[in-house]
């Protein structure tokens, strides 16, 4: 990147960031009144943004579902010995072996315990980490 180009990029970035800071610094009343003075309809802007975000979240959820299905099919085809098909209790027992002297796992387990609805997912995520790190294999054997 040339000095010239870097200089222009930085200028643009400073201007953009300053504008974003001003938006944050305004009170709700100031922001709303400024939009109204500019002839903009806050409900309309909010509605369009809400739809955009909602569609994006749906899309993210859809991608997760596809990934989860693919994962499930993979594990199914790998046979019933796969650790991810173990019972929740059996998985926890295995992980507890690692957590006793390890703050990282202690913390992860605490988080998993707090997110009751997601605990299965979190436990699976820890197990996947352990497999990726080569600490256990996909049958749950400690290497």
Partner 1 sequence: MEDFSQIEFASNTDVFSATELRSEIESLRDIDYARLSKKAIALAPGTGMEPNDLLQEALFRALKEKGGRNCPCNVNPAIFLGNVMRSIATHARLDWAREVPACTTGEDESGPIENTPDSAPSPEEATIAHLDYGRIIDRLEEMFRDDPKAQAIIIGDMEGWTPDEIREMEPMSTKEYDTARKRVRRSLLREFPEDPTNE
**Where does this chain bind partner 1 (CB under 8 A)?**
1-6, 8-9, 11-20, 22-24, 28, 31-32, 34-35, 37-38, 40, 42-43, 45-50, 52-54, 56-57, 60, 107, 110-111, 114-115, 117-118, 121, 125
> Rg of the Cα trace of the chain?
24
CA distance 119 to 8: 48
Closest CA to 72 of 20, 90, 80: 80
CB of 125 to partner 1, least distance (A): 6
Query: In the structure encoding, which two tokens stand for residue 123, read together?
Result: 């436990």
Nearer to partner 1, 10 or 81 (CB): 10
Nearer to partner 1, 3 or 80 (CB): 3
- The number of residues making up the chain comes to 143
CA distance 121 to 94: 16
CB of 136 to partner 1, least distance (A): 18
Nearer to partner 1, 35 or 78 (CB): 35
């Amino acid at each position: 990147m040339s000095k010239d180009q870097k200089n222009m990029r930085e200028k643009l970035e400073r201007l953009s960031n300053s504008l974003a800071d001003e938006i944050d610094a305004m009170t709700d009343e100031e922001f709303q009144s400024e939009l109204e003075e500019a002839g903009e309809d806050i409900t309309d802007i909010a509605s369009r943004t809400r739809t955009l975000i909602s569609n994006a979240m749906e899309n993210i959820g859809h991608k997760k579902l596809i990934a989860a299905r693919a994962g499930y099919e993979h594990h199914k085809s790998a046979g019933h010995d796969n650790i991810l098909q173990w019972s929740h209790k059996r998985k926890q027992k295995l992980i507890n072996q690692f957590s006793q002297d390890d703050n990282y796992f202690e913390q992860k387990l605490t988080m998993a315990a707090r997110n009751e609805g997601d605990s299965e997912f979190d436990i699976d995520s820890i197990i996947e980490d352990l497999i990726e790190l080569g600490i256990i294999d996909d049958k749950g054997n400690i290497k």
